[in-house]
């Protein structure tokens, strides 16, 4: 731990020799000395064993090393000492625990470069013990002499802490107020202490590494899941947010530091009181909280987030800290809302459709005299209604055009020969759903009539049917006009007034004007039938898909 301008190589060599060559009891003066050595060796091993047992219970690196330092000082009968840990990345030795040094000394030597030729640096690099018996007599110690005098020590013993693969981990040093020369067996025991301390440091660091990797994995998982985190130290009033949390609130970390107030400023004003109340209740009842609220970002965009979290309580039972995770559920809510609307719309459509069926049944009943006539009319209308429902259910993917409605109706009951009599012409015009339904029923009545009594009837050899449609007028006065012309009709066929036709004409002359604000004209003159239906364009169709 002390700086030396030159490496104290001779001292290192000496110490190394002392450590490596000595065998306790062998070559010593007498049996009495040998017994004394054995006793102190036993004592020292017992002490080492105690320190080892406590090491396993250490709850911090510092606590464990403090234990080892105390045992070392006791073993050597030293006056002070310290343990430094080697930071390989920054190439420095840092004191993690010490005994007997004052603040002034520590302020200066808390962190020293491992490159310099200090006793501790030397011990680290050579992986050998360094003994300086008297700093006053050691020329190479001269640059650090002043500091040693200040701290009040004359002798130093430093041993390296090496990992399983020989990698340097740190240095354990003991200091003496008077010049001192440790015995061989003391140094030998010290080597054992050093090994135990080293294995403790190594295990601790690998645990820390594993912990860091765990944290990194956790962070990665949170990031991947799009989860934002908030760690709020309530007592200290400080907050830590991850990058997602800044993003969720619409902040930039460099502009708005994490804080309760910065969060509160972004919670939707209508939700704030409820969020705070729910969190307080969870804190009081000591349970997790889970809630959803809106966030109003600085750019006025609205987000929904779901939050889960809990509090950590102090000794007095008050919440000291809050940890919460949140995720952005805006898309999910949007989807749920769309789903809800879709179900409601489907229900509406179904209920309306049933009511339409109910009214068609009652109206057909009114207009027909016999059961056969009723069945014929009602089932035909029901089938037409069901055909247009088929188109409507696909409306989102395939817009319904005027041509679609006509083709659908003709294909339902016309033969190939019938098609030769039909001519369709007009642009692609997309119809709105309810308009398509009403118009389909109108076309159904016209087509049924044509098939039974008009141009498509089997007996009508020269019958021709032409349907044309176009947009007339300009601006808000535009109309979708559909013209239905039948020529070459047989007078015998249409000349017979039938009650069933009443429904069809009523549909065209009353229903379409009522339901679609349409203007309709129906005319049967000579061998020709003319029907003209004009529907306000803005109501009937949309420009977007028309071409």
Partner 1 sequence: MTVHRWPLDGRRILVVEDNFGIARTLAMLFQRYGAVILGPAGTVEDAMALVEAEAHIDGAVLDINVRDRLIYPVARALLLRGVRTVLVTGYDRTFIDPEFADIPCVLKPWNAEHLMKLLSDGSD
- Per CB under 8 A, residues contacting partner 1 are 344, 347-352, 354-360, 362-363, 366, 507, 510-512, 514-515, 539
Determine contact, residues 86/114, Cβ cutoff 8 Å.
Answer: yes
What is the phi-psi region of residue 295: left when phi exceeds 0, alpha when psi lies from -120 to 50, beta otherwise?
A: beta
**What is the Cα–Cα distance from 198 to 211, expressed in whole angstroms?**
20
Smallest gap, in angstroms, from Cβ of residue 353 to partner 1?
9
Q: Which is nearer to partner 1, 13 or 379 (CB)?
A: 379
**What is the Cα–Cα distance from 315 to 58, expressed in whole angstroms?**
23
**What is the Cα–Cα distance from 119 to 315, expressed in whole angstroms?**
46
**What is the Cα–Cα distance from 187 to 22, expressed in whole angstroms?**
9
**What is the Cα–Cα distance from 305 to 248, expressed in whole angstroms?**
8
Q: Which is nearer to partner 1, 36 or 359 (CB)?
A: 359
Smallest gap, in angstroms, from Cβ of residue 460 to partner 1?
30
Q: Is 368 helix (H, G, I), strand (E, B) or coil?
A: coil
Q: Which is nearer to partner 1, 209 or 347 (CB)?
A: 347
**What is the Cα–Cα distance from 334 to 340, expressed in whole angstroms?**
10
- Measured over the CA atoms of residue 17, residue 20, residue 24 and residue 25, the dihedral's sign is negative
**What is the Cα–Cα distance from 522 to 335, expressed in whole angstroms?**
48
Q: Which is nearer to partner 1, 214 or 359 (CB)?
A: 359
Q: Which is nearer to partner 1, 40 or 515 (CB)?
A: 515
Q: Which is nearer to partner 1, 150 or 345 (CB)?
A: 345
Q: Report residue 18 as tokens.
A: 């002392």
Q: Which long-range contacts (CB under 8 A, 24 or more apart) does 269-278 make?
A: 269/296, 270/294, 275/307
Q: Which is nearer to partner 1, 113 or 359 (CB)?
A: 359
Smallest gap, in angstroms, from Cβ of residue 217 to partner 1?
46
Determine phi and psi for 440, rounding to 5 degrees. Answer: -60, -40
Residue 233: DSSP 8-state: E
Inter-CA distances, 165 with 86, 150, 471, Å: 15, 38, 90
Smallest gap, in angstroms, from Cβ of residue 511 to partner 1?
4
Smallest gap, in angstroms, from Cβ of residue 369 to partner 1?
17
Smallest gap, in angstroms, from Cβ of residue 368 to partner 1?
14
Cβ neighbors of 45 (< 8 A, separation 6 or more) are 189, 192
How far does Cα 522 stand from its chain's mean position? 64
Q: What kind and span of H or E run contains 402?
A: helix 402-413
Smallest gap, in angstroms, from Cβ of residue 355 to partner 1?
4
Smallest gap, in angstroms, from Cβ of residue 350 to partner 1?
8
Cβ neighbors of 151 (< 8 A, separation 6 or more) are 80, 101, 102, 105, 175
Q: Which is nearer to partner 1, 73 or 500 (CB)?
A: 500
Residue 507: DSSP 8-state: I
How far does Cα 386 stand from its chain's mean position? 45
Q: Which is nearer to partner 1, 148 or 400 (CB)?
A: 400
Q: Which is nearer to partner 1, 321 or 432 (CB)?
A: 432
Q: Which is nearer to partner 1, 331 or 336 (CB)?
A: 336
Specify which residues 534 forms β-bridges with.
481, 519
Q: Which is nearer to partner 1, 362 or 420 (CB)?
A: 362
* Spatial CA neighbour of 416 closest among 455, 445, 456: 456
Smallest gap, in angstroms, from Cβ of residue 342 to partner 1?
13
């Amino acid at each position: 731990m002390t700086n030396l301008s030159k490496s104290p190589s001779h001292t290192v060599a000496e110490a190394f020799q002392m450590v490596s060559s000595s065998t306790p009891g062998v070559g010593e003066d007498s049996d009495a000395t040998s017994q004394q050595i054995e006793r102190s060796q036993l004592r020292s091993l017992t002490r080492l064993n105690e320190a080892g047992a406590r090491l396993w219970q250490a709850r911090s690196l510092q606590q464990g090393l403090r234990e080892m330092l105390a045992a070392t000082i006791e073993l050597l009968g030293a006056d002070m000492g310290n343990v430094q840990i080697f930071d390989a990345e920054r190439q420095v030795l840092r004191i993690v625990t010490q005994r007997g040094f004052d603040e002034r000394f520590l302020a200066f030597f808390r962190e020293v470069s491992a490159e310099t030729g200090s006793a501790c640096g030397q011990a680290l690099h050579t992986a050998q013990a360094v003994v300086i018996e008297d700093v006053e007599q050691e020329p190479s110690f001269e640059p650090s002499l002043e500091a040693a005098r200040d701290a009040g020590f004359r002798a130093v013993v430093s041993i390296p802490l090496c990992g399983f693969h020989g990698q340097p981990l740190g240095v354990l040093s003991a200091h003496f107020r008077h010049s001192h020369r440790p015995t061989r067996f003391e140094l030998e025991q010290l080597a054992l202490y050093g090994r135990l301390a080293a294995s403790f440091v190594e295990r601790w660091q690998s645990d820390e590494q594993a912990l860091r990797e765990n944290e990194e994995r956790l962070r990665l998982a949170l990031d991947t899941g799009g989860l934002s985190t908030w760690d709020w130290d309530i007592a200290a009033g400080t907050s830590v947010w991850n990058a997602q949390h800044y993003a969720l609130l619409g902040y930039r970390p460099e502009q708005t530091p994490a804080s309760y107030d910065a969060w509160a400023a972004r919670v939707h004003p209508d939700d704030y009181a409820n969020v705070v109340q729910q969190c307080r209740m969870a804190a009081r009842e000591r349970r997790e909280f889970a809630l959803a609220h809106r966030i109003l970002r600085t750019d006025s965009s609205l987000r929904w987030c779901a939050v889960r979290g809990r509090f950590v309580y102090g000794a007095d039972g008050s919440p000291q800290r809050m940890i919460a995770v949140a995720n952005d559920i805006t898309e999910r809510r949007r989807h749920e809302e769309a789903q809800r609307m879709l179900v409601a719309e489907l229900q509406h459509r179904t209920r309306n459709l049933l009511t339409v069926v109910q009214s068609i049944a009652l109206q057909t009943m009114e207009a027909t005299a016999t059961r056969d006539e009723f069945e014929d009319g009602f089932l035909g209308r029901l089938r037409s209604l069901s055909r247009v429902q088929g188109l409507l259910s696909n409306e989102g993917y395939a817009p319904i055009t005027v041509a679609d409605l006509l083709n659908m109706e003709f294909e339902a009951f016309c033969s190939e020969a019938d098609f030769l009599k039909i001519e369709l012409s007009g642009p692609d015009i997309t119809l709105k759903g309810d308009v398509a339904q009403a118009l389909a029923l109108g076309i159904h009545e016209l087509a049924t009539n044509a098939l039974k009594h008009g141009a498509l009837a089997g007996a009508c050899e020269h019958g021709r049917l032409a349907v044309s449609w176009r947009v007339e007028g300009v601006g808000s006065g535009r109309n979708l006009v559909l013209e239905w012309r039948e020529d070459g009709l047989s007078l015998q066929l249409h000349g017979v007034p039938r009650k069933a036709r009443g429904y069809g004409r009523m549909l065209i002359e009353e229903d379409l004007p009522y339901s679609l604000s349409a203007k309709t004209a129906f005319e049967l003159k000579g061998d020709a039938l003319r029907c003209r239906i004009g529907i306000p364009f803005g109501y009937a169709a949309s420009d977007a898909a028309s071409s």
